[in-house]
Structure 1
Amino acid sequence: MKGIIGAVLAVAVLMFFVLAPTMEGITVEGQRAMGIFLFALIMWVARPIPIYQTSIIAILILPLLNVVEDQEVAFGTLGFDIIWLMVAAFVLSSAINHTNLGKRLALTLVTKLGTTPKGTLAAFMLANFLVAFLVPSTTARAALFVPLVLVLLEVYKQIPGESKLGKLMTLQGVQNNAFATSMVMTATSAQVLAIGFINQMTGARMGYMEWLMGSIPQAIFSAIVMFFIGYKIYKVKNSLDGLTESKEILKRQLKELGPISDKEKRAALIFAFTILSWATGNYQESWFGFEISTEQTAVISMLLCLLPGIGVLEWKQADIKWDLMVFSAGAYAVGNAFNDTGGAGWMIGGLVEKFGLESMNHSLVALILIFTTVFSHMVFTSKTVRTTILIPTIITLAQTIGMDPVPIAMACSFGIAYTITLVPHSKVNALYFGTGYFTVTDQLKLGLLACAVGSVGISLTYFTWLQFLY
């Protein structure tokens, strides 16, 4: 029923903006672009059809209503460099999963560091952060860690629904997945989408390393603070029966992987090349006379993963989410048209005037935007949809009132990954919830607290580190 109502409302909104007389201060193209933007927005939220199909409709409508002069402009968004970066990230993730390199790292960390329950919690936190570099997929990382958590809790003789350690370990699994994701640009496609909007709308050149360096402080702050808060709330004993047995089970799992294989070594080398190239991007021009961009590096790495004799998997083994690619292309087409025709500026200008934002202290505006972004997942569950709604709006708002749009847009983009308060908000939540160790209420309480801590962490990062960095 929600989907039907949403579809009817979306079409009605579109028809209104197409057929109504042109409003004062906006062009015909800008008004129609606003109608298409709102149509897509309502459809993406209500989901009467899959979100990628809405993007296809939007791409078709743009040239039909003369919002863009040439259909190549709308259709061409599927060839944007940022879309290629998404494809390459999916291939790299598939390569790491296919070779078991991520699992080997996780098992090694837990068996080496998990000498006490507290140490085990810390080991899982560290493992989540390190594996996020290797496995840029939130769901894949959760699928990797949940079985390890279950083995430990079973050996510790923890009872689902009663165990405080079980609650804390699974809830922190949810939260650390999100914190680690917010640190690594390629750890979710929504963050790649956000970087695309920032670069496209501001002329900036933000990439993998700029994201990583900017986001590290807030991610580590949030994880460490919530680690101690959770431990304090649940009062977990730091000595339990079965610790030696649990470590032996995990050691056997690690042993079953066998010696590190040639494929794992090749995957590790390809990944090392990728990180090294991203890390040295700002110096390559002076060193070599040319620069390999973030997107070019990702595509080269993708090719290396697939090349016979060098690579570690075949094309058919790569888990590429093409529906997400099409959705992202549509989001770019609609977002760019809305911005380029002046529709976004007109709408934001009206909001600024109505709420007096132009006279509001910029620091207060930044706090409102950061907290709104982090808690927005309570309304819009999809990270990609929230990115499409919020990041272009935040950039336009910042430009309108005279704020530097890059630091605030980056800070708010870090908050997109915080989908940690309710089970339906992400597949990661569902996987951990399926263990039976925590209730919906448990997650909501600790999740809201973690969102508040994360908002504070992002705000502190914005007012200090990002001002210096960007």
Structure 2
Amino acid sequence: MRREEKKALAIFGLVLFLWMTDALHLGWFGVEISAPFAALLGAVLVLFPRYGVMQWAEAEIPWHLLIFSAGAYAGGLALDDTGAAEWGVRMLFGGMDLKGVPFGVSYTVIIAVMMYSHLLTTSKTVRTLILLPIIITMAKALGWPPIAFALPAALCIDWVVGLPISGKPNVILFSTNQYSVADNFKYGVLTCTLGVILLVVSGATWFHWLGLTPSFWAVAP
């Protein structure tokens, strides 16, 4: 094993160790080392002058994508911190009068909103913390079991294929320059639409047979 490979393995082991022992950092070091900081420390060690694994000139880093992603994540966090995202979601759902309509209509609307929400905020955590509690509250207000809406909505969290910034793997794939942002958006929206159809069909059949969802034609009392 070459010297550079040994260094890289040692740095990887250090970062992995810090990730696995985060609950013990306060007792050991007096400070808590977060997962992002541990990853940043590993990157610094890899590119450290003279002692690192590689030099800056050898690193082909797509800075434009990193800056783009950082801005998107910052925007998503800002929407959460300021309460703008929650306000927008409440305005959206609050303007929908779903009382008295068949379960299938309410189900389809909620699944569609949840599926396409990743186009507005890239953070899965933000979407989960803001949308799911509102969906559960709405289900209770409409007279439906919360799991009938919340479980299928939760299955939409990982459908982040609409834009290059919607997920970290998207950024890596987009950096190959094999397709444009427009291509990503077009086929991403198509994929999400197929996902909505799949979940709606599952809600009307498989989920219903399992007792998770009522009949799509049922109306809440």
Q: Distance in 1 between matches of 2:125 and 2:19?
A: 24
Matches within 5 A, 1:25-424: 315-316=17-18, 318=20, 322=34, 355-424=96-165
Structure-2 change in CA distance of 1:405 and 1:445 (3 Å): same
Counterpart residue type for residue 18 of structure 2: K
Counterpart residue type for residue 127 of structure 2: R
Pick aligned residue for 1:440 from 163, 173, 181: 181
Q: Distance in 1 between matches of 2:34 and 2:163?
A: 27
Secondary structure of the 1:417 match is: coil
Q: Distance in 2 between matches of 1:417 and 1:441?
A: 21
Secondary structure of the 1:357 match is: coil
Counterpart residue type for residue 365 of structure 1: S
Structure 1, unaligned stretches of length 5 or more?
1-97, 99-313, 325-343
TM-score (norm 2): 0.54
- The alpha-carbon deviation at position 385 of structure 1 amounts to 0.4
Counterpart residue type for residue 376 of structure 1: S
Query: Which one has more relative contact order, counting CA pairs under 8 Å at least 6 apart?
Result: 1
Q: Which has the higher helix share?
A: 1
Structure-2 change in CA distance of 1:432 and 1:396 (3 Å): same
- The alpha-carbon deviation at position 428 of structure 1 amounts to 0.9
Q: Distance in 2 between matches of 1:319 and 1:419?
A: 30
- Cα RMSD of the aligned pairs, angstroms, is 3.0
Structure 2, unaligned stretches of length 5 or more?
1-8, 10-15, 23-32, 37-85, 213-221
Q: Distance in 2 between matches of 1:421 and 1:389?
A: 20
8 Å contact kept, 2:19–2:35? no
Q: Distance in 2 between matches of 1:445 and 1:457?
A: 19
Structure-2 change in CA distance of 1:376 and 1:460 (3 Å): same
Counterpart residue type for residue 166 of structure 2: H
Structure-2 change in CA distance of 1:402 and 1:425 (3 Å): same
- The alpha-carbon deviation at position 357 of structure 1 amounts to 2.0
Q: Distance in 1 between matches of 2:109 and 2:19?
A: 43
8 Å contact kept, 1:407–1:467? no
Q: Distance in 2 between matches of 1:355 and 1:411?
A: 19
Counterpart residue type for residue 369 of structure 1: I
Q: Distance in 2 between matches of 1:434 and 1:322?
A: 27
